[in-house]
Amino acid sequence: MTKVRMTKVQEAHDGTTCTRSFLAGTTYHYDFTQAYAPTGERVLVSITTWVHNMTGTGGGGPCPGAIHYDDGTWSEYCYTVSFEDHVVGTDVHSVRIVGGQPNVSWPVPGDVFWLGLSEDGATVASGEGAVATTSIWRPGNGPGAYRNDQLSYTLTDCAIWYRNAATGTAQPSDKIPSTDACAGPQGQGTIAPAPKQVGSRTR
């Protein structure tokens, strides 16, 4: 059985009553990208895993709109909570539309921003890179209000990769470093003869 730990972000003036809390520790969330084959018989789907870590707390001052008592205390105290998120990897699946079963899958160490298939269906192109963000959850401007502010968004190792669509394999020479690879959706499923619209991204 997993024990769920919580961290307080808001408490009453007595210092013992927690009025708002967050899950402490590590959680996971997922997003996906897809692209349809120009030949029409299959779809490429990439599923990316993100790790969400709580990295610290701070603050402890009066909340916005808190009442100041005669004894010098406040009705509520608020805290900040810092977080770090990063991608731990992506699984790419080539799925036959009829039947819905994957016929080939391969791992990618970072995020997949977009996917495309050559018009003959033999080559997969993808925009890949490593992603990490930091953010802070802190009191907003009114009573009971909080906001989540992103502090950093870091992209590294951005590159376009070309892989064998039948096996998912690639050679080092099939990697083309490019910051444009991490620029987001680039078209709608084809990589030849020109960059048309490639699959969309959901976050």
Give 180 or 11, the one with higher predicted confidence. 180
- Whether 17 shows a pLDDT value over 70: the answer reads no
% of the chain residues with pLDDT over 90: 33
pLDDT of residue 5: 57
Rounded to two decimals, what is the model's pTM? 0.75
Beta-carbon contacts of 127 under 8 Å, excluding residues fewer than 6 positions away, are 112, 113, 114, 158, 159, 160, 180, 181, 182, 183, 186
Average pLDDT, the chain: 81
Please report which confidence band the pLDDT of residue 8 belongs to, taking 50, 70 and 90 as the band edges.
Answer: low
pLDDT of residue 190: 45
Task: Give pLDDT tens digits for 139-186.
Answer: 887 766 788 899 999 999 999 999 998 888 888 889 999 988 998 665
pLDDT of residue 158: 95
pLDDT of residue 147: 86
pLDDT of residue 15: 58
Structural domain boundaries of the chain? 6-202
pLDDT of residue 76: 82
Say whether 100 sits in a helix, a strand or coil: coil
Please report which confidence band the pLDDT of residue 125 belongs to, taking 50, 70 and 90 as the band edges.
Answer: very high
∠ CA 127-132-135, nearest 5°, is 135
Please report which confidence band the pLDDT of residue 119 belongs to, taking 50, 70 and 90 as the band edges.
Answer: confident
Task: Give pLDDT tens digits for 40-64.
Answer: 788 889 999 999 998 888 877 888 8
pLDDT of residue 128: 95
